[in-house]
C-alpha cells in the first residue's frame, strides 16, 4: 500500500494508472475509519481495479471550531485498516496542500444545500463541495464512493458532479449499523454511555415511521408525530430536525405522501446532568417505501 501526501504525486500516479487501462475508485474520508467506511472500500473493490482512500479532516466543513478540534483522529490505525482491506493508495494531504492560497476558491452548491443540515450548519456544504471537487481533481478517479448515512451530502455531490461536468460516477453505499441498530459513525465514540444507550431512538423512530406507512398512514404530520414521539422517549435527545422530503431534490414532502419519501433525522445527545462534555450530533435517514397496493401500484418507484 502506498501513502501519498501531495496532489502532484497523486495526479501523476493517476495518469499512469489510467494510461495502463486500470480503473480507479476513490473513497473520500475524514479518517477514524470504522466498518461503514470499510463497506465503501468493499464496494469500490467491486467496481474498480485500484482502490484509493483519502484521509483528510476538512476544516472548511466545520462551523464549530471545537467540533473540528475534537474530531477523532487515528491515522496509524486507519492506515492499518486500509492495508488489511486491500487499499492500494491512501492520500493523506496536509491542510496547506488542499488549501494553499490565502484567498481560496470555493464551490458554492445551489439551493439543495439549504435544506436539512444546510440550515443548521451554515457553510457546511460549501466546504464539502469544495473539498470533494479538489479530491476528485487530485485523484481523477472513475468512481467515487460515499455513504448513504450522509444522504444530503451524497445528493449535493451528485448534483455538483453533474453540474460541473466531472467525468466519473458517484456511488452510494448502504448504511452500516451496530447490532442494536445505531448507524456507525465516528461520533458514536464521543457519546456518554447513557447517551449511547438512548441513541437507538433514531432507528426506532425510522422503524415507527415505516411501520405507520405500511399500515396505510399517508399524512406527513402524523408520520412526523410518530417520529418525534419515539425520540422524546430518550431524555438526553434534542431534535435538530426531523423532516420528510423528496429523496432527489430534498424539497419538503407534500402534506399527503404519494411516493417514496426520505425521512431525515439530526438529533443532539447531551451528556447526563452533572456530567461535563459536549452534546454529540447524530444523523440518520431512511427512504420510506410506500406499500404497493391499488392506490400506489402505478406510481414510479426509486
User: The pTM is what?
Assistant: 0.92
Residue 157's pLDDT is 98
Classify 186-288 by CATH class.
alpha beta
Known active-site residue 225: no
User: Sign (positive/negative) of CA torsion 193, 194, 195, 198?
Assistant: positive
41-100, pLDDT tens digit by residue?
999 999 999 999 999 999 999 988 888 888 889 999 999 999 999 999 999 999 999 999
Residue 221's pLDDT is 98
Catalytic residue among 34, 37, 124, 142: 37
Name the nearest CA neighbour of 244 among 115, 139, 122.
115
Q: Mean pLDDT for the chain?
A: 94
Ranges 38-42, 231-235, 249-253, 297-301: which has the least confidence? 297-301
Distance CA 52, CA 141 (A): 9
> What angle, rounded to 10 degrees, do the helices at 124-139 and 151-164 form?
60
> What angle, rounded to 10 degrees, do the helices at 7-19 and 124-139 form?
50
User: Sign (positive/negative) of CA torsion 249, 251, 252, 258?
Assistant: negative
| Domain layout of the chain by residue ranges | 2-173, 186-288
Q: Give 169's pLDDT tier (boundaries 50, 70, 90).
A: very high
* Eight-state DSSP code of residue 184: P
Outline where the chain has alpha helix (H): 7-19, 35-47, 65-69, 75-84, 95-98, 117-120, 124-139, 151-164, 193-198, 201-214, 220-231
What is the second-level CATH architecture of the domain 2-173? 3-Layer(aba) Sandwich (3.40)
Amino acid at each position: 500500500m502506498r501513502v501519498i501526501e501531495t496532489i502532484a504525486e497523486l495526479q501523476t500516479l493517476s495518469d499512469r494508472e489510467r494510461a495502463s487501462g486500470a480503473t480507479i475508485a476513490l473513497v473520500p474520508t475524514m479518517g477514524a475509519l470504522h466498518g461503514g467506511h470499510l463497506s465503501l472500500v468493499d464496494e469500490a473493490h467491486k467496481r474498480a481495479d485500484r482502490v484509493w482512500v483519502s484521509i483528510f479532516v476538512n476544516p472548511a466543513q466545520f462551523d464549530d471550531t471545537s467540533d473540528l478540534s475534537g474530531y477523532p483522529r487515528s491515522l496509524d490505525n486507519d492506515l492499518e485498516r486500509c492495508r488489511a482491506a486491500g487499499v492500494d493508495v491512501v492520500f493523506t494531504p496536509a491542510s496547506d496542500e488542499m488549501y494553499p492560497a490565502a484567498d481560496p476558491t470555493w464551490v458554492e452548491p445551489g439551493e439543495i444545500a439549504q435544506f436539512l443540515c444546510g440550515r443548521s450548519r451554515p457553510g457546511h456544504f460549501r466546504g464539502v463541495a469544495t473539498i470533494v471537487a479538489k479530491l476528485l481533481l487530485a485523484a481523477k478517479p472513475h468512481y467515487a464512493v460515499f455513504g448513504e448515512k450522509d444522504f444530503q451530502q451524497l445528493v449535493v455531490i451528485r448534483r455538483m458532479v453533474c453540474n460541473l461536468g466531472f467525468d466519473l460516477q458517484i456511488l452510494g453505499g448502504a448504511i452500516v449499523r451496530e447490532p442494536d441498530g445505531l448507524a456507525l459513525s465516528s461520533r458514536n465514540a464521543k457519546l456518554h454511555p447513557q447517551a449511547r444507550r438512548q441513541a437507538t431512538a433514531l432507528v426506532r423512530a425510522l422503524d415507527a415511521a415505516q411501520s405507520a406507512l405500511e399500515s396505510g398512514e399517508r399524512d406527513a404530520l402524523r408520520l412526523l408525530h410518530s417520529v418525534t414521539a419515539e425520540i422524546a422517549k430518550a431524555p438526553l435527545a434534542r431534535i435538530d430536525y426531523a423532516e420528510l422530503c423528496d429523496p432527489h431534490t430534498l424539497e419538503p414532502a407534500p402534506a399527503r405522501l404519494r411516493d417514496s419519501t426520505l425521512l431525515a433525522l439530526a438529533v443532539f445527545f447531551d451528556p447526563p446532568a452533572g456530567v461535563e462534555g459536549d452534546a454529540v450530533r447524530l444523523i440518520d435517514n431512511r427512504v420510506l417505501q410506500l406499500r404497493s397496493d391499488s392506490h400506489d401500484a402505478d406510481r414510479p418507484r426509486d
